[in-house]
Amino acid sequence: MSRVPLSVLDLSPISEGSTAAQALRNTLDLARQAEEWGYERYWVAEHHFVAAASSSPAVLVGLIAAATNRIRVGSAAVQIGHHTAASVVESFGIVDAVYPGRIDLGIGRSGQRRAEALAGKDRPQPERKDKIIEGILFPKPFETGKLLLSERLLATGEVLVQPKAEAPDFDEQLGDIVAFLRGEFTTPSGVALTATPGSGAQVELWLFGSSGGQSAQVAGARGLPFVANYHVSPGTTLDAVEAYRASFVPSEVLKEPYVVVSADALVAESDEEATYLASSFAQWVYSIRSGHGAIPYPDPKTVVPLTDEQSVLVQDRISTRFVGSAATVAEKLDGLQRATGAEELVVTSTTHDHADRLRSYELLGKEWGLPRLRV
């Protein structure tokens, strides 16, 4: 059976009892292995002040590109509200100058979302019940408003930007990125500026979104590829895909829509072993959803189960994580692809032990039928 391409999303998680340095070494090791196992891309996230070592995507993308040979490497995603368009283009332009034609520049709008929440303009989640399509659960959407306004996230937002700075409109900032990449940027006062490196860079531009809001609509209107985050917001994935396809306009980049859907998955030799390895995932997600920020990934040997009250906060994420043998997880991924019409899937897998994470991707890649690189 012919399947869509499969890619890797790595959060560079720091495990309980480990360090950020080890997490980064693990990322480089997994990237080298993912290339050998035939994965299409290797993307890294942007997270700050939590137990994840991926705080600077451009730096990490450069390190991974240096450690690999052919796999595409990119960000998933640069949170553009924390940066200027110029700084993003220049940093990714440097990496592209050394590794041309292999770099994906993924953009997300979390900074703008936080500003909307503070201004009381955050979009309420649609009212609906759980539904199942192609055997895949699309749960009732999780309400993000309280999380966006948590004390920790607000403090994080304050220190990631200059005092009194305001994130520009997402589409406007994206337009500046495109202009810099094309070598066509001009300031409002009419001064032409060229990003060096950056102008003419061969990076692929991607937009990431968790709902049917601005990210999906802008991606479609600009004719760019779009990534819908099922692993973060499974209840609004279909909204995001629908909004993107409905707003799509053919461009120089794409003649037809191109959708990637993310999934959280964990594979082991058996369903039972995978279930055991996944037993600390709920505590990790709870640390995120409760506003604390991601804790060091717990060890399943010593983890304390959540209370019933705590479990309610993470149930949508637990029930939409694909856990089991390679055949079990591949069947779920096939269902997700059919339900969303995705042209590609990207999988994030988190475990306490690095060897278990390696094995998860290796088993899944083999089951998926990825073409292994001859070494």
Q: Of 122-131, 193-202, 265-274, which range is least confident?
A: 122-131
DSSP 222: T
Please tell me whether residue 250 adopts helix, strand or coil conformation: coil
**pLDDT confidence tier of residue 198, bands split at 50, 70 and 90:** very high
pLDDT confidence of residue 114: 55
Q: Identify which of 180, 194, 158 has the alpha carbon closest to the alpha carbon of residue 82.
A: 158
The yes-or-no verdict on residue 149 having pLDDT over 80 is: no
Question: What mean pLDDT comes out for the span 39-45?
Answer: 98
pLDDT confidence of residue 277: 98
The torsion of the CA quartet 272, 274, 279, 280, rounded to 10 degrees, works out to 160
The yes-or-no verdict on residue 252 having pLDDT over 80 is: yes
Cβ neighbours of 293 (radius 10 Å): 17
CA dist 313 and 204 (Å) reads 36
Assigned CATH for 6-368? 3.20.20.30
DSSP 351: -
Please tell me whether residue 48 adopts helix, strand or coil conformation: coil
Which residues sit opposite 138 in a β-bridge? 131
The yes-or-no verdict on residue 112 having pLDDT over 60 is: no
pLDDT confidence of residue 4: 98
Q: Write the pLDDT tens digit of every residue in 152-172.
A: 788 888 888 888 888 899 999
Which residues sit opposite 7 in a β-bridge? 346
pLDDT confidence of residue 156: 84
Regarding beta strands 72-75 and 103-108, do their DSSP bridges make them parallel or antiparallel, or are they unpaired? parallel
The yes-or-no verdict on residue 150 having pLDDT over 90 is: no
Mean per-residue pLDDT over the chain, rounded: 94
In sequence order, which residues have a C-beta less than 8 Å from that of residue 194 and are 6 or more positions away? 183, 185
pLDDT confidence of residue 177: 98
Contact present, 234 and 250 (Cβ < 8 Å): no
Quote the percentage of the chain above a pLDDT of 90. 86
pLDDT confidence of residue 125: 59
The yes-or-no verdict on residue 17 having pLDDT over 80 is: yes
Q: Write the pLDDT tens digit of every residue in 296-352.
A: 999 999 999 999 999 999 999 999 999 999 999 999 999 999 999 999 999 999 999
Please tell me whether residue 126 adopts helix, strand or coil conformation: coil
> Percentage helix, strand, coil, to 5, in the chain?
45, 15, 40
Domain boundaries, given as residue ranges, for the chain: 6-368
pTM (2 d.p.): 0.94
pLDDT confidence of residue 158: 85
> Phi/psi of residue 28, each to 5°?
-65, -40
Distances from the Cα of 173 to the Cαs of 98, 264, 278, in angstroms?
25, 30, 39
Q: Which residue has the higher pLDDT, 144 or 216?
A: 216
pLDDT confidence of residue 115: 56
